[in-house]
Amino acid sequence: KKIENLISLPKFIKIPQFSLPKSPNFLPNFPQIPKFSPKFPNFPQNVGIFGISAELFPVQMEGVKLTVNKGLSNHFQVNHTVALSTLGESNYHFGATYVGTKHLSPTEAFPVLVGDMDNSGSLNAQVVHQVSSRIRSKIAFQTQQSKFVNWQVDGEYRGGDFTAALTLGNPDILMGSGILVAHYLQSVTPALALGAELVYHRRPGEEGAVLSLAGRYSAPSWIGTVTLGQAGAHLTYYHRASEQLQVGVEFEASTRLQDSSVAFGYQLELPRGNLLFRGSLDSSWQVGAVLEKKLPPLPLTLALGAFINHRKEKFHCGFGLTIG
């Protein structure tokens, strides 16, 4: 059964995610937005529960983009973004971020509220709150001008060696539709974790469920994951070669689409040069690269990106500047 635009839990199976706003770059000592995922020993921040985080791959850039971040206090920040494009529509975005005063660690504070609105009036927003030391909740919604498009509620419980999560996406009592996702992850040993996820969806004239089983093995410098389910198979490998270099490989096969894909990505960081480089290559012969350069002592970050699809013979590039 086809599942559309509802779920954003860890990817046992690939389900299109919300297009939620990304947290802006905070000023020094400004608390960071916590990641909504369980923490296990030897688990890098840029690797998902059962997959490589998108942070390891370059984000596609096209046209010119200017972002201005302004911290109004230690807890509140706003940002303005202007994007000029030759392929799509140019747009303006206004974003706001609030981080509360409930500190769980030097880098985690709650509640967290993030919102982003464009010039057409479309809004993306999310609220994350740590209800207790073990329970975390998240509410997210998306509008397209004056219409609600997506909304979901997440709840997560973290035990000593396991994590259980429940997500409800786009529930509609009158139409009898929605998606319910139950997820469980158990740390069997310090290196091995096993889990399962059940996705149940219902809408008029259609009802179905998808079950996936997964395992992850964590070594001191690498992580491998395997996911098998009715939707297909998903394998990932992440390796931290050094303090500066990280690489990842992702393989996915879909039974519904009768297709498979492989993607390779890497991230190279040079702290002394204030440089961050991300590159990628996938089985569709698309090559991409993004270079980010900080320009101290000024609060400026310059980004240059280029992407080429050899199969479709398409090329595009982008330039970005972030102030603050």
- CA separation (Å) from 241 to 40, 45, 52, 59, 236? 20, 15, 15, 22, 16
CA distances from 239 to 27, 58, 78, 117, 250 (A): 30, 17, 35, 37, 12
Closest alpha carbon to 250 in 232, 262, 239: 262
Tell me how far apart the alpha carbons of residues 41 and 37 are, in angstroms, rounded to a whole number.
13
Lowest mean pLDDT among 37-41, 91-95, 205-209, 285-289: 37-41
Identity at 215, one-letter amino acid code: G
pLDDT band of residue 52 (cuts 50, 70, 90) is low
The tokens for 304 are 């240059």
Question: Does residue 205 carry a pLDDT above 70?
Answer: yes
Q: 131-161 burial string, b = 16+ CB within 10 Å, else e?
A: eeeeebbbebbbbeeeeebbbbebebbbeee
Rounded CA-CA distance 75/99 in Å is: 5
Residue 104 has pLDDT above 50, yes or no: yes
How high is the pLDDT of residue 54? 67
Rounded to an integer, what is the distance from CA 49 to the centroid of its chain? 12
Structure letter (DSSP) for residue 53: -
How would residue 50 be classed by pLDDT, with cut points 50, 70 and 90?
Answer: low
Given a cut of 60, is residue 96 above it in pLDDT?
yes
What is the CB neighbour count within 10 angstroms for residue 282?
A: 16
pLDDT given at position 46: 40
203, 182 Cβ separation under 8 angstroms: no
User: What percent of the chain lies above the pLDDT cut of 90?
Assistant: 65
**How far is the first Cα of the chain from the last one, in angstroms, to the nearest whole number?**
45
CA distance linking residue 316 with residue 64, whole number of Å: 11
Report pLDDT digits (tens) over 124-152: 999 999 999 899 999 999 999 888 899 99
Please tell me the distance from the alpha carbon of residue 197 to that of residue 163, in angstroms, as a whole number: 12
Mean pLDDT, rounded, for 73-84:
96
Alpha-carbon gap, residue 268 to 60, rounded angstroms: 17
On average, the pLDDT of the chain sits at: 83
Q: Token pair of 162, please?
A: 């396991």
- pLDDT at residue 3 in the model: 36
Q: Give the Cα separation of 287 and 98 in Å (integer).
A: 37
DSSP string covering 176-206: TEEEEEEEEEEESSSSEEEEEEEEEEEETTE
